[in-house]
Structure 1
Amino acid sequence: MLITRSPLRITLGGGGTDLASYYEKREGFLISAAIDRYVYILINRTFDQTILLKYSKLERVKEAGELEHPIAREALKMLELEKEPLEICSMADIPAGTGLGSSGAYTAALLKALHSYKGDITGARQLAEEACEIEIGRLGEPIGKQDQYISAYGGINCMTIRKDGFVEVEPLNVTEETLYDLEDNLMLFFTGYSHRAGKLLEEQDKKSRGRDEEMLKNLDFVKQMGLESRKALERGDLRRFADIMNVHWEYKKKRSGGMSNPEIDGWYEYALKNGALGGKLIGAGGGGFLMFYAENKAGLRRAMGRLGLKEIRFRFDKEGAKRL
């Protein structure tokens, strides 16, 4: 049996500027961090000459083209394994639809597993580009390139997406002390809501392609906040980074009415009154995880506990997609 894993992620700045509808006009920039919560893929050969795919559903087919799961179908086609007798099982530390990039992580882990099965040696860039080709190129999903790249690379990376779509990946240049402080003081709380990011991203994509001036100005500002976040982090000014998170969240909410709701807004304000210095909702919006930067972690943990919000503790992942 062959096992691979790839990390989920949190966005530290510039989220939303990695969609083609924006970066093809203005170039994108964001900071993304892989965390030690993973999507796992297990692969084994079957004896009955079928493909057995296990996820939230169970599919058994004779060839990949019959699969309902779009990513698995296209990955098997891409690697010319359409009729290979395989059992493929996926598991995740955190469910899909919670804003941590699970789809991109699934695609990267699956490609890593299939390449490993074939005996291929693959680097992070190849995995990321192939994952983007599947999700964006072949399936036409209205998503950006952040999730596939950070899941393949791991670490905390600054990504500049050029107008031609090429992604420049550069590690965030922070001291070890700043890195540990950031890791210690960032906190994730599950809102209890799952969501489909596609609808919100589709709205953003449509407005950007239509050159909606308000949307483009919003994303211009978000990109600038991403660049400011980089400066703050690289000089170790984590309180400034927390302030930028608050500003970013206010602008993010303006992109769509579905980004938040009164309950999430209430939790957010309560957190700021109980130890959080800054925060935002992770992902495209509408649910998933609230992320806060807090120096008084115990106070914020107690406050969120009173609201019934579950904390998910994490550390940063440095390895990216890998075979176990």
Structure 2
Amino acid sequence: MIITKTPFRMSFFGGGTDFPEFYQKNGGSVISTTFDKYCYVTVRHLPRFFEYKTHLTYSRMEYVNSYEEIEHPAIREAMKYLDMHEIRLTYESDLPARSGLGTSSSFAVGMLNSFYALKGKYADKRKLADDAIYLERVLCDEAGGVQDQIAASFGGFNRINFNSNGYTVNPIIISPERKRKLNQNLMLFFTGFSRFSADIQISTQKALKSKEEQLLEMLDLVDKAEQVLTSDSDLDEFGRMLDYTWNLKRGITDSISSDSINGIYKKAMEAGALGGKLLGAGGGGFLLFYVTPEYRKSVRTALNDLLYVPFQFENEGTRVIYYAAEAYSPEED
């Protein structure tokens, strides 16, 4: 039996510049972090006592005898890719799916990590990130960028740079006290709306050419945000920059925000937040705000109809938390 634990991520700056169509021409960069909310994937070989050969449990259950019967595209394609047979897979999560925190990519990374471990093979973080990108973007043909898979695999507070040759993951060097202060000044709220990221990503992908100027400005903000984080600058400028980049992102496509989201955002700003953004592709999910200590209570009050989610940054990325090797021989034809 294998159990993997994979964190979710929040992206601060540069979202949209991680689309291959953009970064292969202009370069790309994002600042993001993983935090202490996770998905768990448990995998073991299924004993041969049942009428079915594979049992899958996620938001629903599937009992199947062949790859072709599997309805979940990522599980189906990952099992085919790694030649997995006769398994019982269970997925559990601290947070809801389709919420803008890279949940599908974290699942993809954690699932691949568990599959490799079940086969007795070691896969490093880059291998898992690359395979998850290939799984979601090629095998499943889903639109979108490539930052989520990388963040979930590597973990930590990073600047991820993209170019035509690939990507690099660069930890942001920031003092523990400054990092703690940043964490304290960030407030996360669940809007209650969920959406399919791929649907939003398709419209974003179509807008890349016409909105290149906005994306280039968002890319430039990554340098400025990193400078704020790693210098003695007023950390509150990070919050003001979040507001600026959110307004740029909203201009890329109408599907990124909505009247409801805009209304919530306005309430938080009027209550004292310096800035914020909707996490992920857009359309719904989680709103993140930068709020200095003296205004935290008033922002909580203003958004009291939303679920507030405390969190802490994490640094480990995906990992196997339980490993018990199994003897397995493929069923003979």
* TM-score normalised by length of structure 2: 0.92
Preserved CA contact (<8 Å) 1:12 1:229: no
Partner residue, 1:26 = 26
Preserved CA contact (<8 Å) 1:154 1:319: yes
Preserved CA contact (<8 Å) 1:32 1:150: yes
What SS does the corresponding residue of 2:4 show, helix, strand or coil?
strand
Q: C-alpha distance in 2, partners of 1:204/1:44?
A: 38
Deviations 1:216-250 (A, max 9, x none): 11111111112211111111532111111011011
Q: Does 1:139 align with 2:136?
A: no
Q: What are the ranges of 5 or more consecutive residues in structure 2 without an aligned counterpart?
A: 322-333
Q: C-alpha distance in 1, partners of 2:78/2:68?
A: 11
The alignment's C-alpha RMSD in Å is: 1.3
* TM-score normalised by length of structure 1: 0.94
Residue correspondence of structure 1 range 32-181 to structure 2 within 5 A? 32-48=32-48, 50-81=53-84, 84-164=85-165, 166-181=166-181
Deviations 1:161-194 (A, max 9, x none): 1123x11100011111111011111110111111
Q: C-alpha distance in 2, partners of 1:132/1:276?
A: 35
Q: CA deviation at 1:66?
A: 2.6
Preserved CA contact (<8 Å) 2:256 2:282: yes
Preserved CA contact (<8 Å) 2:58 2:90: yes
Which AA in structure 2 matches 1:72?
I
Partner residue, 1:245 = 242
What SS does the corresponding residue of 2:313 show, helix, strand or coil?
coil
Q: CA deviation at 1:56?
A: 1.4
Partner residue, 1:310 = 307
Partner residue, 1:207 = 207
Partner residue, 2:254 = 257
Which AA in structure 1 matches 2:231?
R
Preserved CA contact (<8 Å) 1:14 1:227: no
Q: CA deviation at 1:160?
A: 0.6
Q: C-alpha distance in 1, partners of 2:267/2:207?
A: 33
Q: C-alpha distance in 2, partners of 1:180/1:157?
A: 15
Deviations 1:244-278 (A, max 9, x none): 10110111110111221222212211111212111
Q: Does 1:290 align with 2:287?
A: yes
Q: C-alpha distance in 2, partners of 1:18/1:176?
A: 28
Q: C-alpha distance in 2, partners of 1:80/1:100?
A: 29
Partner residue, 1:234 = 230
Which AA in structure 2 matches 1:137?
V
Q: C-alpha distance in 2, partners of 1:230/1:321?
A: 25
Partner residue, 2:218 = 222
Which AA in structure 2 matches 1:108?
V
Q: C-alpha distance in 2, partners of 1:17/1:223?
A: 7
Q: C-alpha distance in 1, partners of 2:45/2:199?
A: 37
Deviations 1:261-303 (A, max 9, x none): 2222122111112121111111111111110011132232222
Deviations 1:54-110 (A, max 9, x none): 1112111223343111111111122121xx211001011111111000010000000
Preserved CA contact (<8 Å) 1:271 1:300: yes
Moved over 4 A (4+): none
Which AA in structure 1 matches 2:39?
V
Q: C-alpha distance in 2, partners of 1:294/1:235?
A: 20
Deviations 1:116-153 (A, max 9, x none): 11111121101000000100121221111111000001
Preserved CA contact (<8 Å) 2:207 2:252: no
Q: C-alpha distance in 2, partners of 1:65/1:178?
A: 51
Q: CA deviation at 1:314?
A: 0.7
Which AA in structure 2 matches 1:138?
L
Partner residue, 1:301 = 300
Structure showing greater radius of gyration is 2
Q: C-alpha distance in 1, partners of 2:130/2:270?
A: 42
What SS does the corresponding residue of 2:142 show, helix, strand or coil?
coil
